[in-house]
Structure 1
């Protein structure tokens, strides 16, 4: 482990100034925060019926989502914004509607409706790919009976870039915009590229939206076929199925969430007097050159070390690490070995947990969900529990137990790793609540 501090490269400070979420454990940041602190799991039996039946009917799906009702919570929203939302979301797919709600939450927390930024100076990154499979699957039987059944808008709606069109029209975003794909690392990939847009001076702020993974029975069967998805041994006790770093883990448990961050340069946030929630000190992406789903200790280690190098922090200065922690036996084993290698003597002291134990694995949006969880814990001064961690696979790791613990967090790391050898890590720093502008 390298104890010496590194000097970060000179680049604009990137802050998080807004956050929004729609998930299985909360439809806004306040509900999500309470669920984290209480150790509330969103994993349950999946109620929807499908043809054929789901291979594994356990997951943390978004429950009770009503777009019109949730839109009604923004009653003081400017009329122009309300009309724009209603125009482009009428009969929109579920993935679009959840993105819009999480983005509205983040946009308004960042005060971008009453303290705006020039539209050309705002970027948009959609974190997630292949996001419309269940939407397409649901239309297939009707299409086979009558091809003309298709909506005239289907040609736009089946493309991931529809998220860019809808959100840019709602918020009048006219800077750079694109979709980032990185399997389960998509969220972190999106955040890192959003931060890079700001650091390059191309935009002053960037909306990063982690899109709901709305899987069809085909994708669920595919994950089961390769042995990636768990839930079989606890099919009668679904709340116990997601077990990151526990000896009885058997694979990831499907989760759903749309999560959004507003990233902004420190200068822009200060000029607008928009309170910063956290600084992004560093973020790294690498590949370990494989077409498989196998994790790689060298790739994961390099990602964490590179993020630390960018941040200017030594490993011993990290108080807390939000692990990838997918509940996959091999994935958990490799990650904990990589963390131990990176943190060395500090390994027994850095606090660890896995948000997926509560939310399930939200796939494309997981990285954004877990950054939000990290920032929430920083702000509130607690570490959320690992509710099913009964027999840890590593006896020296400083895992949080069955209940939340109070702890100040000044600096934190969040990992996300994806199939196809995609390794990412991000370093965050708390911004004191009494920061002057």
Structure 2
């Protein structure tokens, strides 16, 4: 049984809301610059970190509550509000609505600032710090602000967290546990400690593009230098088929694959990625020839992009159009899978594919990459990849409305 998507909420460097997201996806403006949020300052003598930070967000919480909510929590409420209203969830029994928040260790920047501000005077630490830095505080903010009474949970999958949340929401719908499940990829608010560690690990881009930040994020390009961080958060509303009218449906979640490949850190595994894709296709009742579009994980890390290209070759995906959403938004880490699912669904609705910025020398020219301009393309069945540190490989098959009949 397919789950259908009836609501989307987004926040990223392009702005807050789907209108800004949709326009920016196809225009692909240069959003990249030095990171400026307090708590992301480089060590003395080190180059600044590059990335994308979102604009100031609209306040949707009462002032008293907002003071005790983290940035990740406040952004979560803005995207939930947009998705909730679009999907008209006030008309659904609250006990039939669930919430899965993808991400772990989400508020490390604000934790680091709190440790700095209260060092030597811990007796002044606000009591709410006892729960406000837990990932489940985002569940609490969401369920206390909106009537979600089926269940709520957080789930960690590193950079695949958003997609893992979508998979868990699909399974909750399929099992009949709830009729509606909101899958959210939460804002991973990185601190300077995290950024330094990622740079030292060789996963995040170096200072090579410090004088031209707009060139730094270049997934699947021969001159890639590592991922570039981008603030993001997204929520997608999954519903049981038949619960809503057809004209409100963005697309159908037809199949999913989620496997462990046996690695601990950032080492990618093409074999695991292939297994996840085949599992998703089998679940959807489709074959590789049915896939006409691939939204890659495509981070811009040397090892990651190489392994992913090998996956494409093994699956013989030369016939499908391929692009990389991270080239526009940066890497949203926990949020990446969810906001990229939103990007797939909007491209389905628009009938065109967004550009891939900085794709000047593709790693493998035999694939049908989308380059620097948006192109028209009718998507029937898309394959969406997301991978995470710790050997987490996921794949989703997403269909245009009405294309899942064969799978059912």
* TM-score normalised over the length of structure 2: 0.94
Matched residue of 2:207: which SS?
coil
Cα distance 1:100–1:182, how it changes in 2: closer, same or farther (>3 A)? same
- 1:250 matched to 2:225? The reply is yes
CA contact (8 A) 1:43 1:58 kept: no
Q: CA deviation at 1:145?
A: 2.8
Q: What do the CA deviations read for 1:352-382 (whole angstroms, capped 9, x no partner)?
A: 0110001100000100010001011110011
Deviation at 1:149, TM superposition (A): 2.6
RMSD of Structure 2 on Structure 1 (CA) = 1.8
Shift of 1:224: 1.0
Does the CA-based 8 Å contact 2:312-2:318 persist in structure 1? no
- Residue equivalent to 1:37: 26
Provide the rounded CA distance (Å) in 2 between the counterparts of 1:232 and 1:392.
Answer: 22
Which residue, 87, 100, 121 being the options, matches 1:110? 87
Secondary structure, aligned partner of 1:269 = coil
| CA distance in structure 1 between the partners assigned to 2:248 and 2:39 by the alignment | 45
How far apart in 1 are the matches of 2:123 and 2:183?
Answer: 35
Asked if structure 1 preserves the Cα contact closer than 8 Å seen for 2:15 and 2:54, the reply is no
Q: Secondary structure at the match of 1:148?
A: helix
Superposition deviation, residue 93 in structure 1: 1.1
CA distance in 2, matches of 1:86, 1:419: 37
Q: Is the 8 A contact 2:270 2:310 kept in 1?
A: yes
Question: Partners in 1 of 2:262 and 2:120 — Cα distance?
Answer: 44
Quick one: which of 381, 391, 402 aligns to 1:411? Answer: 381
How far has the Cα of 1:226 moved from its partner?
Answer: 0.9
The within-5 A match list for 1:133-152 is 133-152=108-127
The runs of 5 or more residues in structure 2 that have no matched partner are 404-408
Q: 2:203 aligns with which of 219, 228, 233?
A: 228
Aligned residue among 237, 241, 264 for 1:262: 237
Q: Contact 2:41 / 2:48 at 8 angstroms: preserved in 1?
A: no
Match of 1:314 among 280, 284, 287: 287
Task: Tell me how far 1:15 sits from its aligned partner.
Answer: 0.5
* Paired position in structure 2 for 1:61: 52
Question: For residues 41 and 286 of structure 1, what CA distance do their matches in structure 2 show?
Answer: 35
Q: 1:243 is paired with a residue of what secondary structure?
A: coil
Looking at structure 2, the residues matched to 307 and 186 of structure 1 have their Cα atoms a distance apart, in angstroms, of 17
- Return the alpha-carbon distance in structure 2 between the equivalents of residues 391 and 24 of structure 1: 26
- Size of the aligned set, in residue pairs, is 401
**Aligned mates of 1:171, 1:181 — CA distance in 2:** 23
- Answer whether contact 1:231 1:238 (CA < 8 A) is retained: no
* 1:368-405 Cα deviation digits (max 9, x unpaired): 01000101111001111112011111010110111111
Sort the Cα spacing of 1:45 and 1:399 in 2 relative to 1 into closer, same or farther, 3 A: same
Query: What CA distance in whole angstroms lies between the structure 1 residues aligned with 2:38 and 2:187?
Result: 19
